[in-house]
Amino acid sequence: MALDDPKTLVSTNWLAQHLKDPDLRVLDASWYMPGSGRDPKAEYDAAHIPGARFFDIDEISDLRSDLPHMVPPVDKFMSRMRAMGVGDGHQVVVYDGAGLFSAARVWWLFKLMGQEDVAVLDGGFPKWQAEGREVEDMPPVIRDRHMMVRRQNHLVKDVTQVSAASKLRDHEIIDARAAPRFRGEVPEPRPGLRSGHIPGARNVPFATLLAPDGTLKPPQALREVFLAAGVDLSKPAITSCGSGVTAAILNLALTRMGKSDHSLYDGSWSEWGQFPTLPVATGED
C-alpha cells in the first residue's frame, strides 16, 4: 500500500499539494481527555490548516445517550455535514492537534456513514506546524453540499454483541488503552468506572502503533505490534478503548495492514466499566 492513500492516510506533503483542490475538505477533529487542560475549539480558532472546518466530536454525537460522544443519528450527521459544507464528491482529510489521536475516530465515523473518500493526516497538526507550513485563523467560507449516507452497521458493535464475542471467543477484542489501565492497576480517568478490561481482550496501546514523530508505523511494523500482543489476525476484530475515540486508531492500523473484518465497540470502557453485571478481567488475562 502506498504511503499516501486518500481512503486511509495521507502525508503532510500530499495535503500541501492538494490544499487548493476545489473538492478537498479539511476537518480539525481535535479532542482531548477530560482534565487535559486543552480547549480544542480555542486552539482551532487561534490557528488551523487553511480552509479547515472544526468537527466537534462531543456535539456531533448522540446527545440522547448518557455515554460520551456516541455515534450520532444519521440525520444529525447529515445535517451537521451539510452545514459544514461537506458532502458527496468531496475528498475529506481529518487531522487533530495531538498528532494522531482523535482524527481516526472521525475517519471511522465517515466510513460508518458510507463515505469512502476520507483520510487521516499522518502526524496531524504538530507535524504540519513543525514543517513550517501555512496556518490561518480565519473561518472557512461554507457552501452547502448534500451528503448521501448509507450506514455500514457491520463497522460498529454494541455491548450485547461484544459480550457475546467475549464469551464465544470468535472475535479478537483489542483494547487501545495504556497497559496499566488495561491491567486494572490504575483508576479510570472517568469517575464511577471499574478498573480492568473485557475478558479475553488483547492489549495494543494506541501509542505502540506510532513512530516517534507521531506518524503511524508502516503496515509490516503495525502487523508485528499486533502479533506481539497475541492478536490472532485470522479472526474478525472488535476494537475498544476508554470512550470509543482511540479505538479507531486500531481500526485505521488494521485497514492499513489490509485487514477489513473489524469493527469498533462504540460504548467502550465508559459503558462496560459501569455495569456491575458485566465481567471484568485484570492483569494480563
Encode the chain (285 residues) as per-residue pLDDT tens digits.
458 999 999 999 999 999 999 999 999 999 998 889 999 999 999 999 999 999 999 999 999 999 999 999 999 999 999 999 999 999 999 999 999 999 999 999 999 999 999 999 999 999 999 999 999 999 999 998 999 999 999 999 999 999 999 999 999 999 999 999 999 999 998 889 999 999 999 999 999 999 999 999 999 999 999 999 999 999 999 999 999 999 999 999 999 999 999 999 999 999 999 999 999 999 987
The pLDDT of residue 1: 43
DSSP annotation of 210 reads B
The pLDDT of residue 47: 98
The pLDDT of residue 229: 98
Q: Is 124 helix (H, G, I), strand (E, B) or coil?
A: helix
- Return the bridge partners of 197, or none: 281
The identity of residue 199, as a single letter, is P
Contacts of 82 (CB under 8 A, 6+ apart): 144, 145, 146, 147
Which of these is catalytic: 103, 198, 241, 257?
Answer: 241
Q: Edge-to-edge strand order for the sheet containing 237-240?
A: 156-157, 262-265, 237-240, 172-175, 202-203
The identity of residue 259, as a single letter, is K
225 is catalytic: no
The pLDDT of residue 3: 83
Q: Is 169 left (phi over 0), alpha (psi -120 to 50) or beta?
A: left
The label of the residue with cell 485470522 reads 234
pTM above 0.85, yes or no: yes
The pLDDT of residue 2: 52
Question: Distance (Å, rounded) from C-alpha 282 to C-alpha 186?
Answer: 11
DSSP annotation of 194 reads P
Using only C-alpha atoms, the chain has a radius of gyration, in whole angstroms, of: 18
